[in-house]
Chains A and B, each alone.
Chain A
Amino acid sequence: MTAAAIKARGAAAGAATLEYVRASRWYGAVIALNDVTTTVGPGVTGLLGPNGAGKSTFLKLAAGQLAPSQGEVRVLGKPAWGSPELFHRVGVCPESDAFWEGLTGMQFLMALLSLTGFDEAQCRRRAEAALEQVALSDARDRKIGGYSKGMRQRIKLAQALAHDPQVLLLDEPLSGMDPVNRRRVVDLVKRLGREGRTVLVSSHILHEVEAMTRRVLLIHNGRILAEGDVREIRDLMDEHPHTVALRARDPRALARAIVGTPHVLSLVFGAEGEWVTVQTARPDEFYASVHQAAVEAGVSEMYSPDENLESVFRYLVAR
Chain B
Amino acid sequence: MPIYEQTYRRYEARAPLRTVRFWPITREALRLVLARRAFLGLLLVAWGQFLFRVIQVYVVTRLPEAGRVLPIDGRMFGQFLSIQTLFTLLLSIFGGAGLIANDLRTGAILVYLSRPLTRRDYVLGKLGVLMALNLSVTLVPGLLLYLIALALAPEQFAKWSLAWISPAVVVHSLVTSLVMSLIALAVSSLSRSARVAGLGFFGLVFGLEVVRGVLRALYDRPESALLSVQADLQSLGNALFGVTDRAFQLPWAYPALVLVAVSLGCLAILRARVRAVEIVR
Contact = CB atoms under 8 A, between A and B. Distances in A.
- Whether the complex brings A and B within 8 Å at their CB atoms is answered yes
Interface of A: 101, 143, 145-146
6 contacts: A101-B280, A143-B280, A143-B281, A145-B280, A146-B280, A146-B281
Interface of B: 280-281
Nearest to B278: A145
Nearest to A101: B280
A145 B281 CA distance: 8
Nearest to A145: B280
A101 B219 CA distance: 47
Contacts of B281: 143, 146
A143 B278 CA distance: 14
Nearest to A144: B280
The list of the 6 closest CB pairs from A to B, nearest first, reads A145-B280, A146-B280, A143-B280, A101-B280, A146-B281, A143-B281
Nearest to B279: A146
A143 B279 CA distance: 12
Nearest to A143: B280
Contacts of B280: 101, 143, 145-146
A143 B281 CA distance: 8
Nearest to A142: B280
Contacts of A143: 280-281
A101 B279 CA distance: 12
Contacts of A145: 280
Nearest to B280: A145
B281 to A, nearest CB: 8
A146 B281 CA distance: 7
A101 B280 CA distance: 9
A260 B241 CA distance: 102
B110 to A, nearest CB: 14
A54 B251 CA distance: 67
B191 to A, nearest CB: 14
Nearest to A146: B280
A145 B279 CA distance: 9
